[in-house]
Structures are given as C-alpha cells and as structure tokens.
Structure 1
C-alpha cells in the first residue's frame, strides 16, 4: 500500500472514531477531493455544513469557508487543516469598509459574497455565492441602494444580468483576475470547437461578450452539472485548475482544458492528506467565531440558504 493509500485509510479510521466528516472545495488537490465525504462549491459546502449530523467537521478549504461552517454549527467542532489557508479576495474588504458605506447609505443593502470574513458577513444583509448571486440580487428591493462586495468581476456580471444599479467593491481573487483576455483568446484559437465554461470571477469575463459570445458563465458546481449533461466532448475551463480533477471524475470520455494552466490557488493547496490526518488526530486547528459576530453573520448566511 502506497503512502497516499495509507493516509487515506488512517483518515477513514479517524473519521469513524470521531464521527467526523471531511468537506472539500473543488479547488483542493485530487488526493484531498478523493477522501472527502462531500466535494462542492461554496453554496453546496455551506448547505452540507448546515445539514450534517457529524460531531466534527474538517474543512479542506480556506478560512472564510471554515468560519461559515463554524457559524452554522455552533455546537460542533470545526477544524481547518492549515490555519494559514487564507483568501486574497476576502482580504480586500474589512468591516470598517462596510461600516463606512453604511454610514453614507443608511437605508442601503449590503450583499456579501461568501468569500468574506465573519465580521463582514455580520454587517451584511445577505450573502451570495457565484451560483445564486443573480437570483439573490433579483429578489432585493430595487428602491434601496445596494453594495455588492468584494469581487468586482462577479459584481459586474450580476449587474449585467439583473440590470440593477449598485455600488461594486473593487476587490478581486488573484487567481481568477489573472485569467484574462489573452489567455481566453489563445484558447479560442487552439480549440475552436470546444465549449467554454467561464467562472464569473474571471478577469476575462467581460471579454467573453465579444470574443466568445456562446461561452457559458457558471459557478464551479454549475460547470460540473453542465459538463455531465452536455453532448460536447471537449471543454475549455476558466477557473482554478483544481476543478479539472472533479470534472474528470464526474464525466466519461470528455476532455477538459484549463484556460490557464498556472491558475492555482496556493491557499487552497495548503490542505494535504497529512494535515487532515493530523487535524483529526490532534484536534487542530479549531475554528472559533465570536458569538455576537456569529449570530449576526448567520442571519446573512441563512438568508442566502433560503434562496432556492
């Protein structure tokens, strides 16, 4: 038995002993996805975290995701294998920034992407993911000012789809922002017959409107669902490359080409089988959120989860 198989077996035994589950984002390395009890996007992971009856949740993702799981499960133990797994997007906005906007728009609404800290969520009216952002914004009162944060590319996409006037925070994910027009143009030339699946956080999103008008804009989960049902056999995918492993597992006889091979989130890749094993074995690292902040943040998260 090789080292990967040994670690997987050890993790399975620890999960059984502690009544634990491992939740993994689709951007995790393949070995981590393979041992997870659930793999998905932020919305799916949030719903799974809210529904689990496990005593321990090991969150193979980044900090804001583990915080969300802890907020939704105040009586459970939530562990993150590497506490240094941050997020360049969530780092672009702070609670102070939200308070400043609210002081200038006292009747305004704050819509926060889940890629935010618990403190920012606590000051928000509702959270969204890339999977439901359009639907959520469409449901909100158009007579009130609205701030969408923190991703400017997702915000612009939502604005285009809804026709809603809103303030958009100028934040970005460093990985998705680096997937630009040149990379998209190169792939269009190389794979003219392929179907193009684009994440709305990508810097190439607006370019798609004229370079590849038939491209599909999807969340990571939307990409998986579409690829499974499509009759196409070749897809070019614009998001973090970890999704390719999941796409390959969920489909048969189809080819997936990343728009940019180097679109790798170093924070997501901090989670390893060794760290998951150690986290379960030693109960490290426990994710804790201040009770008052958690209660306020939960209202915004619950409002998101209520949008079907």
Structure 2
C-alpha cells in the first residue's frame, strides 16, 4: 500500500471513529507527520486524558499504551504492533522484582515510568526522566529508597540528589549503545558543539555532556541555547521534529558502537510501528490494550502521586 493512500485512509478513519493518534518522538518520520500529538510517553498519556476522543492509537511501545490505558480506562487504546516492547521494561520481571523488594523491607519503591503495569502496581511513586530529581527530593532524607528499572538513570540520580538508592540492574539498549570514542572524535571535529544526553546513557557519556535531561528537556535546551551545532545522545528519532524547529542549527546524532545503517542509535522496537500497521490497527481496532481493573487501580496510584508532586 502506498503512503498517500495510507495517509488518506488514516485521516478518514480518525474522523469516523473519533480517534486521536499519539506518536512518541522516536517514531518514524511518516508517523510523526500524521500524529495529532508528538511527545514523550507521559506527556502523551496526559494529552490523551484531555481529549474527547473515543479511541487512542499509541504509536510507541507496549508500556506506553499500557500507561495510556491506566490513565484513560473509558477510552479504547490501540497500538500498531503488539510486539513493540522495550528492553528496559522487559528486563524487569514482576516475579523477580517482588523477590528483590522483599530483600529491602523498609524501602520506598520509586520506578521510572518505562516499566510494566505490574511493576507500577508494586511501586510507591513513579517518575519520568524530567521529574525524577524532584520526586526523589520529595521523599524524607531518612527514608530508604529502591529505584528501578534503569540503573544508569539511578546512578545519575544518586550523584545529583546525594541519596543512597538501591538500584535494580536494568538498562535501555539504545542509550547504552553510544560510543564514547566516536563521540569524542565528532566533538574534536566540531569543538564549538554542545553535547546533549539523556540520563539513561552510561556515566562516561554523561561526563562529557553539556546538558543532561529528558527528551523534552533536550529539545528545549537545543531550541534556547545559542550554540549552532549540537551532538545529540538519545534516540535519533527526535531529530525529525527538532530540525523543523531549529532549521538554522546543525544537529548530529551521537554515534553508536554498532556500525548500523544510520550510524546513530535507533530503537528497533519503536521502529516496528509503520504507517501500514497504524492504518490496520485503526481499521480493525486491534491490537487493543486491555488491563484488569484491579491492576489498573493499583498501577494508577503511584502515577497519581507523581502527578500531584510534579
């Protein structure tokens, strides 16, 4: 099916079904172009809460559609590819996490939003990379904390908040794929460039960054900083929207250790969604994200606590 036909059909079905399309920054360009909202995962779920749509199509990964359903129980939530997972979320098995929690009985559990509904349901608070410092800071200093599932983000928070966090050993393959040697090589060729990195990156990458922050934080930094050249250490998908916002600036994706086709770091899971899959999921209203009400209520509690704090 050609892209023009798909775009027309998606637009028609969207109107017919009163649907809204949410696309994460890491999606393919053609999906970002047709989306109603582009953002990071929590921002998008909150956008969905504020629409009067009956159907939410979440072009992202599994846990994002799950979060949208947790926040929007009366809307039908669809995702283009059921198998679009996340190495970070998948690396935190609820069965093992329950045992891990038992080893630290007097600890509060703070989890990064990039985790499954089951893990959220076992948490006291959820955070995003944008508000993580604020969430940790809201907890009394005498209170011990478990932080999961991202160890790199956890180590960054330990340094920033001076708190002793017990960390679950998990990571995102995309943010661990950056090559420091190749990054320094590019920087040496562009000595006036500024390096912006996501806190899920490894500490050696964060040490050389001029700015560390969430996807939206990186975007705002590049929009407002006077530098003309930026090396961006997060998933390369954010460059699409960003290059339209700052046409006069040069954006260089941070190089990956792998010699892949784009020589940058891309999330294979995010790229599983295609325009055709988006059309089919809207047409067939499938795959649909469903969560038991019991699990939904438990997973909603730490998200609501986070929203109150942030």
**TM-score relative to the length of structure 2:** 0.94
**1:110 is paired with a residue of what secondary structure?**
strand
Q: What does residue 256 of structure 1 align with? A: 251
Q: What does residue 52 of structure 2 align with? A: 53
User: Shift of the alpha carbon at 1:202?
Assistant: 1.1
Matching of residue 302 in structure 1 with residue 297 in structure 2: no
User: Shift of the alpha carbon at 1:76?
Assistant: 0.7
State how far apart, in whole Å, the 2-side matches of 1:97 and 1:189 are.
44
Q: What does residue 89 of structure 1 align with? A: 88
State how far apart, in whole Å, the 1-side matches of 2:117 and 2:270 are.
19
State how far apart, in whole Å, the 1-side matches of 2:252 and 2:91 are.
30
Shift of the 149–91 alpha-carbon distance from structure 1 to 2, 3 Å rule, reads same
Deviations 1:137-176 (A, max 9, x none): 1111221221111111111111111111111111111111
Q: What does residue 267 of structure 1 align with? A: 269
User: Shift of the alpha carbon at 1:71?
Assistant: 0.7
State how far apart, in whole Å, the 1-side matches of 2:101 and 2:183 are.
37
Q: What does residue 280 of structure 2 align with? A: 278
Q: What does residue 97 of structure 2 align with? A: 98
Matches within 5 A, 1:119-198: 119-198=118-197
State how far apart, in whole Å, the 1-side matches of 2:179 and 2:139 are.
31
State how far apart, in whole Å, the 2-side matches of 1:207 and 1:275 are.
35
Contact 2:120–2:302 (Cα < 8 Å) also in 1:
yes
Unpaired runs of 5+ residues, structure 1, are: none
State how far apart, in whole Å, the 2-side matches of 1:67 and 1:13 are.
26
Contact 1:47–1:305 (Cα < 8 Å) also in 2:
no
Deviations 1:31-64 (A, max 9, x none): 0001111111123123213322210000000000
**2:126 is paired with a residue of what secondary structure?**
strand
State how far apart, in whole Å, the 2-side matches of 1:207 and 1:57 are.
36
Deviations 1:229-255 (A, max 9, x none): 222221100011111112112222111
**1:176 is paired with a residue of what secondary structure?**
coil
Contact 2:197–2:205 (Cα < 8 Å) also in 1:
no
Contact 2:206–2:212 (Cα < 8 Å) also in 1:
no
State how far apart, in whole Å, the 1-side matches of 2:287 and 2:194 are.
41
Shift of the 105–186 alpha-carbon distance from structure 1 to 2, 3 Å rule, reads same
State how far apart, in whole Å, the 2-side matches of 1:198 and 1:31 are.
25
Q: Which runs of 4+ in 1 moved over 6 A?
A: none
User: Shift of the alpha carbon at 1:207?
Assistant: 4.2
Match 1:242 to one of 227, 237, 243: 237
State how far apart, in whole Å, the 2-side matches of 1:33 and 1:24 are.
6
State how far apart, in whole Å, the 1-side matches of 2:167 and 2:147 are.
5
State how far apart, in whole Å, the 2-side matches of 1:274 and 1:251 are.
30
Q: What does residue 211 of structure 2 align with? A: 216
Q: CA RMSD in A?
A: 1.5
Moved more, 147-156 or 43-52: 43-52
State how far apart, in whole Å, the 1-side matches of 2:172 and 2:149 are.
9
State how far apart, in whole Å, the 2-side matches of 1:139 and 1:118 are.
23
Shift of the 147–57 alpha-carbon distance from structure 1 to 2, 3 Å rule, reads same
Moved more, 16-25 or 176-185: 176-185
Unpaired runs of 5+ residues, structure 2, are: 256-262
**1:23 is paired with a residue of what secondary structure?**
strand
